[in-house]
Structures are given as C-alpha cells and as structure tokens.
Amino acid sequence: VAIANNCTIISESHNFSDKNIPIKMQGLSPQPVTIGNDVWIGSKVTILGNVKIGNGAIIGAGSVVTKDIPEYAIAVGVPCEVIRYR
C-alpha cells in the first residue's frame, strides 16, 4: 500500500442519537476501513468509515472515499467514483 501525504482515514464516528446529551459525551462507534494489497492512495485523500478499497485500486488525489471501491478500479472525485479499471 502506498499512501501519499496529507491523507485522512476515519475509522469511527460520533454517536448523536440523544439530543439531550452533548454529542461529545455520547461516545464513538467503530467504522472499520479495509485497504487491500497493492493500493495507491493519492495526496489529500479522505477515506470515511465502513469502506473497503479492493486490491490494486488507485484513488486519485483529493478524493473523498464514501463507499467501497472494487479491485483494480481507478477512482477519483468528491465523492469518489470509479472512472475505469487498470
């Protein structure tokens, strides 16, 4: 896996179901991120929780990954979308 500079991987989220309790007091829920082998993640990419990036995928610089990316896909954008396959 190659991860360029200034990337963010978010693997948890704040709970906010009770409006009578401040959000910061409601705890966190895990949201795992899985990154396959031979993946290249460009600079300034943000990967949100509950996402799997398949083996051999490429994520373009500045993208925001909000859903699973298939194996060998090249994906870019906000939100990140597959544009073709390697």
The yes-or-no answer on residue 14 being catalytic is yes
**How much is the pLDDT for 23?**
93
**How much is the pLDDT for 13?**
92
**How much is the pLDDT for 72?**
99
**How much is the pLDDT for 59?**
99
| CATH of span 2-85 | 2.160.10.10
Beta bridge partner(s), residue 28 = 14
Q: Are 66 and 83 in contact (CB under 8 A)?
A: no
- Check 13, 14, 37, 55 and give the catalytic one: 14
Tens digits of pLDDT across the chain (86 residues)? 999 999 999 999 999 999 999 999 999 999 999 999 999 999 999 999 999 999 999 999 999 999 999 999 999 999 999 999 99
**How much is the pLDDT for 56?**
99
